[in-house]
């Protein structure tokens, strides 16, 4: 009997290791190919010079700046709205059919294809609100895209905080908002950061939504305000890989590697912050 259990456990561990390898190996291969083909293209000139008119020469400074502008505006729009929505659903909303309907809608929105968000953003922000194609319209579209991820992750992080913390704070005379702001939120920050950075990383790599709302094929200057169009890395990579004939492969690989570095950098930064906040957590 004992031998049978040990054999079953050994087989189960072997299957789990194999499944883990199946998941990890493609990621490692993608990173390997991007680094091996793109590292020699990365140089100071490549990162700080603008693309030329035919996109076959120059660097990617304009797409990098446009991507940072777009992601920064998306954070400003999506993070407060998503966090406040999560706080309301977790701490203030009463259980009932309306609350369940709202949660169901949020989960369903997370599964909507990004191209649908792009068409919606173009129709509402660019045409109905007459913003035309600009950074603001693209940021609002991307904010809608990542809101479900931020709300679900933040609500989950808030709900994990022990209920006894809330009871102790309110027993000492704290109001509901004081309890939420001073007790619940600080202890939920690691989980909130994880979900938020995952959503923001997704926004940084999306092509379909910005295709309709903000992306420019070529701009000889940097955007001057949030009402200007911008070159962004995902769309620029799509163009030089599929629409520009005879584009040097090193430019394509270098652009892809830069986009990967930005996404990975966001996740590493969030991981460092998460570890620091977890050290200060009271439970």
What pLDDT is recorded for position 147? Answer: 92
Structural domain contains residue 269: yes
Q: Is the pLDDT of residue 138 over 90?
A: yes
Tell me the CATH number at 135. Answer: 1.10.3720.10
Structural domains counted in the chain: 1
What pLDDT is recorded for position 280? Answer: 66
Structural domain contains residue 43: no
- Distance in Å from the first CA to the final CA of the chain: 41
Rounded mean pLDDT of 66-81?
A: 92
Structural domain contains residue 53: no
Q: Is the pLDDT of residue 6 over 80?
A: no
Q: What is the pLDDT of residues 21-61, one digit of tens each?
A: 888 888 888 888 888 888 888 888 888 888 887 888 888 99
What pLDDT is recorded for position 38? Answer: 83
Structural domain contains residue 48: no
Structural domain contains residue 36: no
Give the residue numbers spanning the domain of 245. 59-279
Structural domain contains residue 54: no
Q: pTM score, two decimals?
A: 0.86
Q: Is the pLDDT of residue 2 over 60?
A: no
Q: Is the pLDDT of residue 283 over 80?
A: no
Structural domain contains residue 15: no
What pLDDT is recorded for position 70? Answer: 92
**Three state DSSP letters for the chain:** CHHHHHHHHHHHHHHHHHHHHHHHHHHHHHHHHHHHHHHHHCCHHHHHCCECCCCCCECCHHHHHHHHHHHHHHHHHHHHHHHHHHHHHHHHCCCCHHHHHHHHHHHHHHCCCHHHHHHHHHHHHHHHCCCCCCHHHHHHHHHHHHHHHHHHHHHHHHHHCCHHHHHHHHHCCCCHHHHHHHHHHHHHHHHHHHHHHHHHHHHHHCCHHHHHHCECCCCCCCCCCCCCCECCHHHHHHHHHHCCCCCCHHHHHHHHHHHHHHHHHHHHHHHHHHHHHHHCCCC
Q: What is the pLDDT of residues 228-274, one digit of tens each?
A: 999 999 999 988 888 888 888 888 899 999 988 888 888 788 778 77
pLDDT tier at 120, thresholds 50, 70, 90: very high
Structural domain contains residue 166: yes
């Amino acid at each position: 009997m004992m031998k049978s259990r040990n054999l079953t456990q050994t087989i189960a561990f072997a299957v789990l290791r194999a499944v883990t390898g199946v998941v990890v190996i493609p990621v490692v291969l993608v990173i390997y190919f991007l680094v091996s083909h793109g590292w020699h293209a990365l140089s100071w000139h490549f990162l700080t010079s603008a693309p030329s008119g035919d996109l076959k020469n120059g660097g990617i400074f304009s797409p990098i700046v446009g991507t940072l502008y777009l992601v920064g505006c998306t954070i400003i729009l999506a993070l407060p709205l998503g966090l406040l929505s999560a706080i309301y659903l977790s701490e203030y909303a009463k259980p009932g059919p309306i609350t369940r309907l709202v949660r169901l809608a949020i989960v369903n929105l997370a599964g909507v294809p990004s191209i649908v968000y792009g068409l919606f953003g173009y129709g509402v922000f660019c045409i109905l609100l007459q913003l035309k194609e600009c950074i603001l319209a693209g940021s609002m579209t991307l904010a809608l895209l990542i809101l479900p991820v931020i709300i679900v992750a933040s609500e989950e992080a808030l709900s994990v905080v022990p209920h006894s913390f809330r009871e102790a704070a309110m027993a000492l005379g704290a109001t509901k908002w004081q309890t939420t702001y001073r007790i619940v939120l600080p202890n939920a920050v690691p989980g909130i950061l994880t979900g938020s950075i995952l959503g923001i990383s997704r926004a940084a790599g999306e092509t379909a939504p910005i295709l309709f709302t903000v992306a420019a094929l070529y701009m000889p200057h940097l955007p001057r305000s949030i009402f200007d169009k911008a070159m962004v890395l995902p769309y620029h990579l799509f163009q030089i890989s599929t629409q520009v004939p005879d584009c040097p492969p090193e430019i394509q690989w270098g652009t892809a590697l830069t986009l990967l570095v930005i996404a990975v950098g966001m996740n590493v930064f969030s991981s460092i912050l998460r570890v620091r906040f977890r050290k200060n957590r009271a439970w």
